Amino acid sequence: MTESASTAPAPTPDRTTVLQSALRGIACKCPRCGRGKLYAGFLTLAPKCDVCGLDYAFMDSGDGPAVFVIMIAGAIVVAAALIVEVKYQPPFWVHAALWLPLTLAVTLWPLRAVKSLLIALQFHHKAAEGRLIERQPK
C-alpha cells in the first residue's frame, strides 16, 4: 500500500528531521515549533517561545558561532585581499576602504543565523552538559 505525500503525517517535535531543524535555525525561529521568534535583540535570546512556550534557558551556543564566522570570513577576506594585491597592487588606503566594510559585512551578517543554527541543532540532538559516569573500581 502506498501513501501520497499529502496524507503522510506531519512531523512532530519528536520526528523532526535534521534538515527541518537546520532550516528553523537559519530562519531564527523556535527550534521546537518553527514559528516563534528566537531573538529579543540582535544576538540576545528571548526568554521563551511566544508560540509554544519553550523555555530558552537551556540554550548555550558559547563561542561556536563566532569561531565559525571568523574562520570563514577570514578566509574570504584574506583570499580577496591577496588576489587584489597581486593583480592590481593598489595603495594601502584602497585596501582599507575595501576590506574593512567587507570584514564587517561577512562577520556580522551571518552571525545571527549561525548562532540560531547551532542552537537548533543542539535542541534537535538533545545536547546537554557532559556528565561523569559513576563506575565501580576494578
Which tens digit of pLDDT belongs to each residue from 71-123? Answer: 999 999 999 999 999 999 999 999 999 999 999 999 999 999 999 999 999 99
User: What domain count does the chain have?
Assistant: 1
Q: Is residue 1 part of a domain?
A: no
Task: Read off the pLDDT of residues 34-67 as tens digits, 9 standing for 90 and up.
Answer: 999 999 999 999 999 999 999 998 888 999 999 9
In a domain, residue 55? The reply is yes
Question: Per the domain annotation, does 112 fall within a domain?
Answer: yes
Does position 70 have pLDDT exceeding 50, yes or no? yes
Task: Note the pLDDT of residue 137.
Answer: 80
CA distance 108 to 26: 14
The average pLDDT across 9-19 equals 69
Instruction: Answer yes or no: is 135 within a domain.
Output: no
Q: Write down the pLDDT at residue 108.
A: 96
In a domain, 4, yes or no: no
Q: Which domain holds residue 101?
A: 13-124
State the CB neighbour count (10 A cutoff) for residue 92. 7
> Is 38 a domain residue?
yes
**pTM (global) more than 0.85:** no
- 103, with CB counted inside 10 A (0-12, 13-18, 19+), is middle
Residue 81: inside a domain: yes
Question: Is residue 134 assigned to a domain?
Answer: no
